[in-house]
Amino acid sequence: MVANFNREVIMANINFSLSGDQAEALSRKAKISLGLLITGIVLFAWGIYADGKGLATYYKILGFFMVCTGSGLFYNKRWYTSVGSILFVAGIALAYLGSLESKETEYLLYISGFSGMMLGSMLFTYDPEKKYNLKTHYFKQSNWSQRIGLFLSGLGVGIMFVAWLGNINLDPSWLYLSLTLGSMALGILLYTYGTYNGHTAGIKNNHVMFNAMTNRGVLGFVAGILLTLFYIQLYWHSESLTSLISLFDSWSELKRGKPADQWFVYGTLYSFVILFLGVKFIIKYRNNRYQLIRTIVVILSQLILADMIPTIMEAMNYNGTSAEIGEKTRYLGYDANPVQSWPLNYDAFTPGNIQAYTYEGHQPVGMAYFFWSIVLFLVVTPVVTYYVGKRWYCSWFCGCGGLAETAGDSYRHLSNKSVKAWKIERWVIHSILVFVLIMTIASLYPYLTGSEFVIGFATLNKTLFFFIAAALLILCVFLFYRWYKKSNRKVLLAGAIISIFILLFLSIAFFNGKSNVFVIDSKSIKSAYSFFIGAAFSGVIGVGFYPILGNRVWCRFGCPMAGYMGLFQRFKSRFRITTNGSQCISCGNCSTYCEQGIDVRAYAQKGENIVRSSCVGCGICSAVCPRGVLKLENGPEEGRFEPNPLEITKDGVKLNM
């Protein structure tokens, strides 16, 4: 009652009206934006209709560019944020064009496209009052242990740079690889010792705002450019990584009995970073039991579930597909990782993987994985999310989240806390969730039109697939509409309407005998998703843009698994972060270090529980709070959105009714 009264008093003193000049300017800007949006939609639709003919590709790119430009102009007030938005969208268009061109020109278009995105991000996050330079606190504040650690880490990274950018074969590879990884590991441990040894209990985030590597300074941008370049080569030009890959041949021969490839290198570096920067994270948060246990689970999940098990499965010829099937084996770490579920693993229910699951030579493990994938998606994920929220996956078992929490810990404060970013987040992540659903149906249905899979006691064909998909879509309509009536959230009504439309398209295709459910060629939909979401967003932007957009940009804006679990967490879960507003001193630590961009302080000041679909339950907001205001809880579902009735003050416990 007290919190509600204070909110009403504050809101009563705010004038939300616009002056005549402001309204006229907004009207002009809205008209221009609307014109660009409509024109862009028409061009994009025409490009889809005329797919494969003449200038269809360019119509789609131009239309997409105009749609996003109109959106950017409408939402941004400053010229550099508008220009940044336009450059970012232009970069996406160029990169997509690169995926359609020949080898001779695609690399240049990839570089140009992602450079445009990088420059756009720089302008979008530009602060006119900030001085951009190479200054970093290390030169003045660091001790000898930190300096030696940085030197050793730099030595290891330098050797990899020689192999990568210098394209020089280092022989013997086992010696240079040992020197590389050993130097980096020892350097990280020495730097960690020098940073936290001798300090009093408490979490230290000293100097992150004054370090050119972690405050969107010049060093951060350089790191982002190098990471982006690496990911471009990793996904689309692995032949340029030949010398770097050969550096890992000795380890690959020992571990797998064959030479390394780009995905083995990536998986090895991924596990290495999570392990040793995870140790750094544990020491930093050593006085917080929740963070200690959580990080140990993250490390073990990466080493065992994402690395060890896939390696064993590969040795037993269970990982990926085989030569008899004629499908290309996917990279190590997803196909056999038992916690990578659809929709994050978007290939889980596509023809290639179902062929691998049902292939006679892969039994009985293949069918076990197939049924486990279904149970994990339909049963385990919703049930566990209901009881503990999406944190069980996003902050404990997910590899993307593990890298964000360990390697990205120093960048968590760079997440955008504005309401505008929150709106963009909701539109983008739910659109991608719809996209992956459409892509999966569009990929699997045409294949089942002429083929079928024998799955244990049943045969998966077009008819069975139609009835299963129709039943699930009807269930989605029912749940979305029920939750909408209960919470009056328009996003749920939109979900119900979209489910109806997908069901309508699927029914038309089934009863009319058509193979393409959504008119567009299924391969085009799959290739677009694989490029935009599976590679560009999750890899290049998701990791390469850590130093600019923060460590959870993929988890917050792009991950379909996070979007799927977020719906349950927001509308049907026991998880919440409770607040004791009377103890809040408005220091802002919680909001500053929220990697998901949630303005936690605003909730704490009003004494409201935090029930947000984007919250990954990392617990850092609670850990950095000096007053114990925040607490992660799993309580009764009823009353989750109500302000905390109990307030602990200096005068005792106060009950607000």
Low-confidence winner among 170-179, 380-389, 449-458 (lowest mean pLDDT): 449-458
Q: What is the pLDDT of residues 571-619, one digit of tens each?
A: 889 999 988 877 888 888 999 999 999 999 988 888 888 899 999 999 9
Q: Is the pTM of this model over 0.85?
A: no
Structure tokens at 74: 């409408």
3-state secondary structure of 459: strand
R_g over Cα of the chain: 26
Domain segments of the chain: what residues? Answer: 138-419, 420-560, 574-655
The span from the CA of 493 to the CA of 480, in Å, is 6
d(CA 496, CA 493): 5
* Confidence check: pLDDT of 273 > 50: yes
pLDDT > 90? residue 276: yes
Q: Which of 111-115, 192-196, 328-332 has the highest mean pLDDT?
A: 192-196
Whole-number pLDDT of residue 575 = 92
Query: What was the pLDDT predicted at 385?
Result: 94
Q: Which residue has the higher pLDDT, 20 or 102?
A: 102
In whole angstroms, give the CA distance from residue 590 to residue 73: 31
Q: What integer is the mean pLDDT of 560-571?
A: 91
Residue 332, pLDDT > 60, answer: no
What percent of the chain has a predicted confidence (pLDDT) above 70? 74
Per the prediction, the chain carries an average pLDDT of 79
The top-scoring range by mean pLDDT among 52-56, 236-240, 364-368 is 236-240
Separation of alpha carbons 483 and 514, rounded Å: 34
Angstrom distance (rounded) from CA 133 to CA 127: 13
pLDDT in tens, 230-252: 888 888 888 888 888 999 999 99
Helix (H) or strand (E) holding 576: strand 575-579
What pLDDT score does 296 carry? 95
Q: Which residues pair with 246 in a beta bridge?
A: none
What confidence category does residue 44 fall into, taking pLDDT thresholds of 50, 70 and 90?
A: low
Q: What is the pLDDT of residues 468-516, one digit of tens each?
A: 889 999 998 998 888 888 877 788 888 899 999 999 988 988 888 887 8
The residue type at 350: T
Joined tokens for residue 43: 């061009």
In this predicted structure, the answer to whether residue 328 has a pLDDT above a threshold of 50 is no
With helix as H, strand as E and coil as C, how does 156-192 read?
HHHHHHHHHCCCCCCCCHHHHHHHHHHHHHHHHHHHH
Helix then strand then coil, % of the chain, to nearest 5: 65, 5, 30
Classify residue 327 by its DSSP letter: P
Is residue 347 very low, low, confident or very high in pLDDT (cuts 50, 70, 90)? Answer: confident
Confidence band (pLDDT; 50, 70, 90) for 322?
Answer: very low
β 652-655/453-455 pair status: unpaired
Give the pair of three-digit tokens for residue 84: 């940044």
- Tokens found for residue 346: 């978007």
Residue corresponding to tokens 């692995």: 238
What was the pLDDT predicted at 291? 92
Q: How confident is the model at residue 188 (pLDDT cuts 50, 70, 90)?
A: very high
Q: How many Å from the N-terminal Cα to the C-terminal Cα in the chain?
A: 6
3-class SS letters over 389-437: CCHHHHCCCCHHHHHHHHCCHHHHHHCCCCHHHHHHHHHHHHHHHHHHH
pLDDT of the residue at 407: 92
pLDDT band (50, 70, 90) for residue 26: very low
Task: List b or e across 322-350, with b for residues whose CB sees 16 or more CB atoms inside 10 angstroms.
Answer: beebebebbbbbbbbbbbbbbbbbbbbbb
CATH node for 574-655: 3.30.70.20
pLDDT of res. 24: 46
pLDDT beyond 70 at 626: yes
Residue 489: C-alpha distances to residues 291, 404, 483 (Å): 33, 30, 8
Among residues 41, 119, 107, which one has the least CA distance to residue 80? Answer: 119
Strands (E), 8-87: none
Q: Is 101 exposed, middle or buried (0-12, 13-18, 19+ CB in 10 A)?
A: middle
Is residue 359 very low, low, confident or very high in pLDDT (cuts 50, 70, 90)? confident
- Check whether 312 has a pLDDT greater than 50: yes
Q: 598 — phi, psi (to 5°)? A: -85, 130
Residue type at position 467: F
Rounded average pLDDT over 389-415: 92
- Kindly report the backbone phi and psi dihedral angles of residue 202, in degrees, each rounded to the nearest multiple of 5, phi listed first: 135, 155
User: What's the token pair of residue 493?
Assistant: 């009504």
Q: What is the DSSP string of 333-345?
A: TTTT-TT--TTTS
Residue 610 is given by DSSP the state B
Torsion of Cα atoms, 438 then 443 then 446 then 451, to 10°:
-140
pLDDT over 50 at 101, yes or no: yes
416 vs 91, more confident: 416
Token pair of 169, please?
A: 């074969």
| CA–CA distance, 558 with 175 (Å, rounded to integer) | 40
Identify the sign of the CA torsion 139, 141, 144, 149.
Answer: negative
For the ranges 79-93, 165-179, 322-336, 542-556, the one whose mean pLDDT is highest = 542-556
Rounded CA separation 163/140 (Å) = 32
Residue type, 449: T
**What sign does the dihedral 128-417-590-295 (CA atoms) show?**
negative
* pLDDT on residue 444: 82
| Residue found by looking up tokens 């880490």 in the block | 153
Q: Highest mean pLDDT range out of 91-105, 131-145, 153-167, 428-442? A: 428-442
Q: In the predicted model, is pLDDT for residue 88 greater than 70?
A: yes
The pair phi, psi for residue 258, each rounded to 5°, is -155, 160
Record the tokens describing residue 160, joined without a space: 């990899």
The pLDDT value recorded for residue 166 is 67
What letter does residue 206 receive in the DSSP assignment?
Answer: T
pLDDT-above-90 percentage for the chain = 23
pLDDT at 136: 58
Quick one: average pLDDT of 300-320? 78
Consecutive H or E run containing 195: helix 173-196
Lowest mean pLDDT among 98-107, 145-154, 165-174: 98-107
Which residue type sits at 442?
A
Range from 64-68, 163-167, 342-346, 493-497 carrying the lowest mean pLDDT: 64-68
CB 614 within 8 A of CB 562: yes
Contact 553, 416 (CB under 8 A): no
- Pull the structure tokens for residue 590: 């919680």
Is the pLDDT confidence value at 178 over 60?
yes
φ, ψ of residue 52 to 5 degrees: the values are 85, 0
* Predicted confidence band of residue 372 (pLDDT cuts 50, 70, 90): confident
> Token match 């278009």: residue?
109
